[in-house]
Structure 1
Amino acid sequence: MAASTGFEGYKQQLAARARAVGVREATIAAVIPYLRLNARVVALDRQQPGGPPNSNVIPPFAPYKARHVTSDLINRGAARFRSYRPQLAWLEQRFGVEPQVLMAIFGHETSYGRVTGNFDLAEVLATLAYEGRRRAFFEAEFIAALQLLDRGTPRSRLKGSWAGATGYPQFMPSNVLRLATDGDGDRDANIWGSEMDGLASIAAYLNDAGWKRGVHWGIPVQVPATLNRAAIVSRLAAPRCPQVFRRHSRWMTMREWRQLGVRPLGQVLPEGEMATLIEPDGPNATAYLATVNYRAILDYNCSNFYALSVGLLADRVAAGG
């Protein structure tokens, strides 16, 4: 990494990019000169697991599930689900998204608002852009943060995670600009202070990601020992997160899965619904048939463990605990 003088020079580049897209000079002057390189953010970013190249070693799902589908998250989510039932019904009617999934994402991302992050968003994004691992992405998000200020968002609201996500939905600034939604009727999409605005914004995101109305995210299933996995390998080339999608089978109807001996463990999906098989812990363990709406959850966070734990938490929340 370059010396701190290098960061000072980079701040001038950020200012030029901000001017080029029409950010107000007053906003640039109020933010950019005071930015500092955040060493803690750099250290946290470098600690992120990348895994060895071409590694096929995948950790077990159970420990991740145990950390993210806890009795505490289930019970607090179920309590909110009951108390917000009329508002959630309205959101489901408006966006078509299962309301328990909204609640589960809220719980997974911020423990229902308890942990939203206290890093200065502009500083985080400028630091990550300067570090250079994903410069174009974080530069664009930095500019989006300035545009939020131009729209009138108070600087005090722009706090978040070390990775630049903010508010109850943990949106990146560009998604706040595009998808933040008023859910409580006060004409202010305050994703930092209103739980209903946060839930409405998550619904808007999933709807934008292609959520199919009236379809459950997926179900746990038992796979017979006789299943020929070579015959159900997907030949689709995923445009993003290829390692994540490589773990999915080809798409077949529930009727076709039933004919192969794949048996639902509880809830069922309609016979004509398309689903893909995911075996997070490999053969001889609980597997899942996931619908197109599972892929909408993956758009929120491209991790099979994340999407599965959101779906399973959502099921428990809807069941009341």
Structure 2
Amino acid sequence: MMLSLRLSAFVLALSAAPVVAQTVPVTPTSNATDSDPGSAQDAAFTSFIAGLRSRAIAEGVRPATFDRETAGLTFNPRVIRLDRAQPGGTLNSGPPGPMEFAAYRRSHVDQAHIDKGRTLYQTLSAQLARNEARTGVAGKVTLSIFGLETGYGVYTGNFDLIRSFATLAFEGRRRELFTAELIATLKLIDKGFTRAEMKGSWAGATGYPQFLPSVYLRIAADGDGDGKADIWTNKADALASIAAYLREAGWKPGTPWGVAATLPANFDRAAVRTPLVSPRCPRVHARLSKWLTTAEWRAKGVVITGFPAPADNELARLLEPDGPGMPAYLLTTNYSSILDYNCSNFYAMSVGVLSDAVAR
């Protein structure tokens, strides 16, 4: 599963978030799933959850739902261990090192992903076309995200979302974030989804698109017209919801995500280095050049070798994912929309390359 606010970027953001003092220090135990009954931590955890009741009800959660779903809830130390195993804040500072995308591409855009994607691209063609007509988002891209997030629905995570969010909220470093996601999960149960369906990654990404519950509440879409947006078992709804997310992230209809290109031997890379520092995942954006139009890139000797080429007036950034002398790409604003879904160049490049292979 590829973690995606939605979650690689989400997870990276966790380590850089302000630290809130913990009510009780968290001490990892030898048991990966069970807390220590009767401990001071358990008592504090139970008290903390009870203290959220009034807020949850004020935000629209039914009292019976809160009481039922939090009854007997226990702290999960495994979630904290997984959280603390994530890369630290140094990932967001200093110049980025070599990307070495080729090896990552071989393991993520492999023949199995391509073959299954091609089959589904044909099988779901009508659904993908409807989504594209409604949102402008290329169907091959939404299918590619579905494939990379969960292996086209094979693995979606088996952590109980309520327990994970309650644990992360109690631990305290991103208390407001995870408290809000806990309440959003309870709202989903109020909408008719079951606790058994509320499973996902340790950090709370759930369903085929690996949305956070708050993201589901904001943009989940009914893809098959049955009146329900079910991203856990319904591929049509999941693909429609991914398309809705990318549309909200600024997807531009009729524009490719990017295109392969070659650079002249004397290309001046320093002249196209971006002077800007992105407020979100700066190291990811630091790998990308400044924005130029396709015509301006051509004037610098860049030769577009892929298809379709962006229009001459389309803005694009240059990325050499494997360094000078290796294939380069001109990446449009739609690549930025993919980065919004998961702020990782490895991820966004994989989505784009897989989408092209699936549709070929």
Q: TM-score range by the shorter chain?
A: over 0.9
**Greater RCO, 1 or 2 (C-alpha within 8 Å, sep 6+):** 2
Q: What residue number does 1:154 align with?
A: 194
Deviation at 1:136, TM superposition (A): 2.0
RMSD (Å), alpha carbons: 1.6
CA 1:40–1:182: 2 relative to 1, 3 Å: same
Cα deviation, 1:187-228, whole Å, max 9, x if unaligned, reads: 111111110111000001101111001101001222223222
Q: What residue number does 1:269 align with?
A: 310
Deviation at 1:12, TM superposition (A): 2.2
2:120 is aligned with 1:80: yes
Deviation at 1:50, TM superposition (A): 2.5
Q: Which amino acid aligns with 2:151?
A: S
Please say if residues 11 and 33 of structure 1, whose CA atoms lie closer than 8 Å, have aligned partners that are also in contact. no
Gaps of 5+ in 2: 1-24, 27-40
2:220 is aligned with 1:180: yes
Q: What residue number does 1:25 align with?
A: 63
TM-score (norm 1): 0.95
TM-score (norm 2): 0.85
Please say if residues 217 and 290 of structure 1, whose CA atoms lie closer than 8 Å, have aligned partners that are also in contact. yes
Deviation at 1:67, TM superposition (A): 1.7
Q: What residue number does 1:280 align with?
A: 321
Please say if residues 98 and 323 of structure 2, whose CA atoms lie closer than 8 Å, have aligned partners that are also in contact. no
Q: What residue number does 2:47 align with?
A: 9
Gaps of 5+ in 1: none
Please say if residues 135 and 247 of structure 2, whose CA atoms lie closer than 8 Å, have aligned partners that are also in contact. yes
Please say if residues 119 and 160 of structure 1, whose CA atoms lie closer than 8 Å, have aligned partners that are also in contact. yes
Moved more, 75-84 or 228-237: 228-237
- Looking at structure 2, the residues matched to 58 and 141 of structure 1 have their Cα atoms a distance apart, in angstroms, of 35
Q: Which amino acid aligns with 1:14?
A: L
CA 1:20–1:159: 2 relative to 1, 3 Å: same
2:277 is aligned with 1:237: yes
Moved more, 26-35 or 307-316: 26-35
Count of matched residue pairs = 319
Deviation at 1:20, TM superposition (A): 3.1
Among the aligned pairs, what percent are the same residue?
Answer: 51
- Looking at structure 2, the residues matched to 34 and 223 of structure 1 have their Cα atoms a distance apart, in angstroms, of 61
- Looking at structure 2, the residues matched to 113 and 120 of structure 1 have their Cα atoms a distance apart, in angstroms, of 18
2:223 is aligned with 1:223: no
Q: What residue number does 2:7 align with?
A: none
- Looking at structure 1, the residues matched to 89 and 321 of structure 2 have their Cα atoms a distance apart, in angstroms, of 17
2:142 is aligned with 1:113: no
- Looking at structure 1, the residues matched to 260 and 202 of structure 2 have their Cα atoms a distance apart, in angstroms, of 34
Q: Which aligned pairs between 1:1-321 and structure 2 lie closer than 5 A?
A: 1-2=25-26, 3-50=41-88, 52=90, 54-56=93-95, 57-267=97-307, 268-319=309-360
